[in-house]
Amino acid sequence: MNKGSVLIVSGPSGSGKDTILKKVFEAMPEIKFSISSITRAMRPGEVEGEKYNFISREAFEEMLKRDMMLEHNEFVGNYYGTPRGPVDSVLENGGEIIIEVDVNGAANIRKKLSETVSIFIMPPSFEVLKNRLSGRGTDSAENVEKRMNEALCEIARADEYDYIVVNDELDKAVDDVITIIKNLRLKTERQKYLINEVLGKC
């Protein structure tokens, strides 16, 4: 049995992380995605079980009590957490799971699991990030500035990650993430089982 890999992917708002991951999952449908459990209300367009499981505060606190969360955070009065079960299952049974989480969540997961690989999705420049954040046209200037500041704080911590993928050209960024995953699959520690398999009873 090969060993599983836990991939943490972070990147600021405007980095294009969601678009990249969508294409990676299309190309590699065997990879699992860690669905966060959260207590905030569902927004229009969101689908239960796609990115999030929407649960009650009581249910979340029960999960915490039973140590069922790998990590969690409280954000503007709502809980957000990564359930432990799907991650443990990949570690036991092989394959890969991608956990999309912010820089603090990533740091907490690294403290709990030694065997993670982390990728930071980086916008190509300050100007591009600013254009992407203001180009959405849905936010006030104040909100754009707030998100820009949050993005800069996250970028300042990109050196905590094993890999940085620059999202200048979407297809190239998607290829880079896929290359990292293919590389992981070739690592000796993921393929140690082959040694005994090939040697057999010699």
Short-list 16, 14, 19, 8, CA closest to 151 = 14
Ranges assigned E (strand) in 12-59: 32-33, 36-38, 52-54
Alpha carbons 48 and 24: distance in angstroms, whole number = 21
C-beta closer to ligand 5GP: residue 3 or 161: 161
Alpha carbons 55 and 146: distance in angstroms, whole number = 28
* Side chain identity, residue 70: L
Q: Which of 102, 145, 160, 175 lies at the binding interface for ligand 5GP (CB under 6 A)?
A: 102
Would you give the binding string for ligand 5GP spanning residues 146-185, x where CB under 6 A is met? Answer: ----------------------------------------
Applying CB under 6 A, the span of 76-84, 114-122, 182-190, 192-200 interacting with ligand 5GP comes to 76-84
Q: Which of 60, 80, 120, 161 lies at the binding interface for ligand 5GP (CB under 6 A)?
A: 80
Is the distance from CB of 155 to CB of 165 less than 8 angstroms? no
What is the contact surface with ligand 5GP in residues (CB under 6 A)?
A: 36, 40, 71, 73, 75, 80-82, 101-102, 105
